[in-house]
Structure 1
């Protein structure tokens, strides 16, 4: 493997996290390949889980927060009749029960778990207590009191049961713990259940059609005839624009003169019908994203969060 001096990399990557490694481990692998000075991921996936792990590089990290609030979609396979210590197949089996529910009982249980519901996060979640993730307490045999969370399960669909396995897809709000959802379903059915397969298909408006595998990036890295600059150009081409995490926000274009004042921290007239909203501010001349602005009731565009570089 090649090693290069760390560099400023700016952009957004939808990584297809492989099974068996933590989200942070996946991040560090990608960060090392890109020789990036700064990068972070959005939304922890358990080692068991695969699929969409959004990664923000450099200036893109300034806007990661807005994507953390997004809805998500998952593909789930659960094993019925067994409850485990971690609510997934990585844990030890706590008890086994017969699978005796009917099709109508299954539909009724699914309905009860759809809509606005309360959920208690798993002790094996990444939620922090006194700065320490809950799963670290759990590994020491400690059980920390967790507050109930209000979440939304918009839809549980494509449900298929075969013997002791149940497969479905779920569209849900941020903060939803799929392992807890599966465990709650198992209790409603009276047999217990745990996750054996979990794949994140979607975060916000991003679907899994744009996912990039670590192995695909390594293939570019391992080309023998590649030069440094050619290699970085190839992998940088995999990155989406800096403003991708906030692509749901409207755009406002500024002239060079307006942009100059805006970047000095001054409010400028917005020339827009938009009010009371965050907007993506674009340099009209070069069609470059320069940061976030906020339009107030006086139709003034106020600097909110700006890039420190124009790299896009």
Structure 2
């Protein structure tokens, strides 16, 4: 007996940002595809991957918002993590095989001293179990083949390293840390390096991203909550596209200038120099707030286009705002 074909989902234009609390076990792409299916969106992307073993803030960009997702790849991130001391694994997390064990005999004072050493500008060797590519191939692919390849150390910035809790005695000694860091920081490597500096080794048993750029986990929605909602209510969970531009200086153009700017023409005006500018058109009959046109920069009194929304995207956003 042939199974009935699955009904095709009717895709539609959706524009905005969904702050998803990514669950344990899902890859960033799996979480994106799930959200895309639930909203029936025809275009989506995210602002940087989060490990399957990590949970927390995953901004998903729909439609016109995908044009600005690249801006958030450079955003600082904040994580909470638990480092299990005394046990080293092949992957620096709980998924790997145990490769070494050591007694934990460090003191609280030594922990504080070591954490101080890992604050500020530090160098890391990217882990073999990572998506970083070498010769066109992801490092984790080499690792699955049992190969180790040379990796260049990278400089990252640990802005803040806070000790939330610790247990240095008992059968499962651990450190619980809160880390605010620059892009490209490998928290598994950081935890492993801290544990090695304490003389006992260790691995991550928990990793949760609690903030990326301006977005915090308190603003996020779970996949389960999204699934339980009626379809029209899911759309109300979206933040506007301009939420991706919180630090851009706003410039609002009159109708004629807005139309010319959208065609890619520079405009002249009395604007101070800004490297990042969010450009808006005037309010419309259906929308009281100015309408986002795109981003760019100002220099010597000239407004220079960067990433622009298309007239179709702007019209679709206005229609959903009515």
TM-score between the two structures when normalised by the length of structure 1: 0.92
SS of alignment partner, residue 307 of structure 2: strand
Q: CA offsets, 1:178-224, max 9 Å, x none?
A: 00000000110010010001100000111112101100111015xxx
Q: 1:33 to 1:131 in 2, by over 3 A?
A: farther
- 8 Å CA contact 2:249–2:274 kept in 1: the answer is no
Q: CA deviation at 1:276?
A: 4.1
Q: CA deviation at 1:52?
A: 0.4
- Alignment pair present for 1:219 and 2:221: no
Q: 1:54 to 1:132 in 2, by over 3 A?
A: farther
- Alignment pair present for 1:198 and 2:197: no
Q: CA deviation at 1:103?
A: 1.5
In 1, the alpha carbon distance for the partners of 2:274 and 2:57 equals 32
- Alignment pair present for 1:13 and 2:18: yes
- 8 Å CA contact 2:54–2:209 kept in 1: the answer is yes
- 8 Å CA contact 2:163–2:175 kept in 1: the answer is no
Q: CA deviation at 1:132?
A: 2.9
Q: Which residue, 288, 293, 306 being the options, matches 2:291?
A: 288
- Alignment pair present for 1:53 and 2:50: no
- 8 Å CA contact 1:292–1:306 kept in 2: the answer is yes
In 2, the alpha carbon distance for the partners of 1:152 and 1:257 equals 45
Partner of residue 109, structure 1: 114
In 2, the alpha carbon distance for the partners of 1:130 and 1:242 equals 36
SS of alignment partner, residue 193 of structure 2: helix
TM-score between the two structures when normalised by the length of structure 2: 0.89
In 2, the alpha carbon distance for the partners of 1:199 and 1:137 equals 26
SS of alignment partner, residue 24 of structure 2: coil
Partner of residue 255, structure 1: 254
Q: CA deviation at 1:3?
A: 5.1
Q: CA deviation at 1:2?
A: 7.6
In 2, the alpha carbon distance for the partners of 1:270 and 1:2 equals 53
Q: Which residue, 166, 182, 190 being the options, matches 1:161?
A: 166
Q: Which residue, 177, 183, 188 being the options, matches 2:192?
A: 183
In 1, the alpha carbon distance for the partners of 2:7 and 2:209 equals 31
Unaligned stretches of 5+ residues in structure 2: 1-5, 285-289, 318-322
Partner of residue 174, structure 1: 183
In 2, the alpha carbon distance for the partners of 1:141 and 1:58 equals 40
- 8 Å CA contact 1:256–1:285 kept in 2: the answer is no
Q: CA deviation at 1:31?
A: 1.2
Partner of residue 264, structure 2: 265
Q: CA deviation at 1:92?
A: 0.4
Q: CA deviation at 1:76?
A: 0.7
Aligned pairs, how many?
300
Partner of residue 144, structure 2: 139
Q: 1:99 to 1:37 in 2, by over 3 A?
A: same
SS of alignment partner, residue 5 of structure 1: coil
SS of alignment partner, residue 180 of structure 2: strand
Partner of residue 37, structure 1: 42
- 8 Å CA contact 1:63–1:243 kept in 2: the answer is no
- 8 Å CA contact 1:127–1:134 kept in 2: the answer is yes
- 8 Å CA contact 1:270–1:295 kept in 2: the answer is no
- 8 Å CA contact 2:275–2:298 kept in 1: the answer is yes
